[in-house]
Structure 1
Amino acid sequence: MSSVLQDWRLELIGAHPDLFRPSAGTGDGAEGLPECGPGWRDLIDRYWTGRRSPESSALVDEAIDLAEARSVCSCEICGEAGVLRTGGWLTTRCDLHAEERAPAEVRPGFENVHILRYGLGAQRQITGRRYDRETDAFVDVDAASLEIEED
């Protein structure tokens, strides 16, 4: 493991010991440590603990949704724009760090789309939002235009 990656992981473990539970006595590992490159450091380093009001919970849920959306279009090696790629497991990489991995197949029109389904029966609703990397925000998408099949 490179010293840069190791230093980054050690800093992450030290900053969030309650999240990663450092391994006893080793100082260089932790239970639950994510397997990703330093390009995703900022995505992992932002998190919230403790009791929350409904309003705060909504903000935390939005932050999680944004982190998930960012992870699908941010190279996990360098943090630049990337795409989801195949090759043993899914990983997000830019062209420079693709390592000959092919882009994952994405249904046309569903690039960076986050779909929410909520409610039951007649109350069930589907909404869609597209993540815009330039503005780091979601833009509402007409769910009917996505032609989502109900299960």
Structure 2
Amino acid sequence: MAQVPNWRTKLIENYPNLLHPPEGQPEAAASYISCEEGWHDLLARLCVRMQAALQRGETIRILQIKKKSATLRVYWRGDVTPLTIARIHEATAVAEARSACTCEVCGTEGEPYNLGGACITRCATHARGELVPAPPGPENVHLVRVATPGRDRVVARRYDREADRFADEDPTGLESKRRETIVTENWRVDLMLTHPRLFEIVQDDPKSSFGYPNCAEEWRDALEELCISIETALGQNETFKYFKITQRLGVPWIEWDGEVSGDTVAKIDEASRLFGAFVLRSSRLDGREKPLR
């Protein structure tokens, strides 16, 4: 009996010019899909949009498709014009926004749940863990990188799930209660601007802000995960601000202030502990301490 291809290999076979599988071996594609079937439809929509974005003679290669913090992540590279880059960024942003409100198991509308410190998106039927309270303000608002003349910007955009698009037709003219931020060359400032609920930012001089990360770039991914974990832990009316992010004798040192419940404090402490353990593991190289600066 012939083997029936699963949805992942079928999708890869349908879009070989994007996913570039070895001939006859779709399961061996470097971009093999690391998420559940509930996101099959939004991935198919993404591939259609990415393919439509390409102009004559342009090529791209999707390097990785995975889940991170309950939302889709797509990494790619290619030889394309700035216009095509903008179109592909728009397509991936829409797919990521849809994944944030789509059950990864069945594809129906879902919400974020905290399952033992991991964030997942589930419908009521497939829910596991604790429902993450929605933040104050409009629903389905996402920070999206937008290319504009002279610079990239990160703006807040509301995703319309029924229409499968962002509600604003012109993101450069979007008005939102959330502050627009400029993408800088300093990852520390970008991190702070991306998580305004956690940082009290001095607008004229972000480097002088309390909580400005005084650490090496090796901490970047782990610190991003820590921020997401803390935002997930915070209740609707709870407040949190970093006071200090630094190191003491090579050990991560974090100080913060806020008004949170005892349960939330425990979750923040656990997330911080995991962050510290990760940094200490990754800072060792060949049995020696790896410099953090």
TM-score of the two chains, using structure 2 as the length reference: 0.40
Residues 109, 146 of structure 1: 8 Å contact kept: no
Question: 1:62 Cα deviation (Å)?
Answer: 0.5
Aligned to 1:43: 42
Question: 1:29 Cα deviation (Å)?
Answer: 6.0
Q: Secondary structure at the match of 2:155?
A: strand
Q: Secondary structure at the match of 1:127?
A: strand
CA distance in 2, matches of 1:124, 1:12: 32
Aligned to 2:108: 80
Is the alpha carbon distance of 1:27 and 1:81 closer, same or farther for their aligned partners in structure 2, counting shifts above 3 Å? closer
Structure of greater Rg:
2
CA distance in 2, matches of 1:84, 1:29: 31
Q: Secondary structure at the match of 2:6?
A: helix
TM-score of the two chains, using structure 1 as the length reference: 0.69
Question: 1:77 Cα deviation (Å)?
Answer: 1.6
CA distance in 2, matches of 1:116, 1:10: 30
Identical residues among aligned pairs (%): 38
Q: Does residue 56 of the first structure (1) align with residue 58 of the second (2)? A: no
Is the alpha carbon distance of 1:64 and 1:117 closer, same or farther for their aligned partners in structure 2, counting shifts above 3 Å? closer
Question: 1:129 Cα deviation (Å)?
Answer: 0.8
> CA-atom RMSD, angstroms?
3.5
Aligned to 1:9: 8
User: Can you give the 5+ residue segments of structure 2 that lack an aligned partner in the other structure?
Assistant: 51-59, 61-77, 169-173, 180-195, 207-293
Aligned to 2:66: none
Question: 1:14 Cα deviation (Å)?
Answer: 3.3
The count of aligned residue pairs is 142
Question: 1:52 Cα deviation (Å)?
Answer: 2.2
Query: Which of 117, 139, 150 is the aligned partner of 1:111?
Result: 139
Question: 1:131 Cα deviation (Å)?
Answer: 0.6
Residues 73, 92 of structure 1: 8 Å contact kept: yes
Q: Which has the higher contact order (CA 8 A, sep 6+)?
A: 1
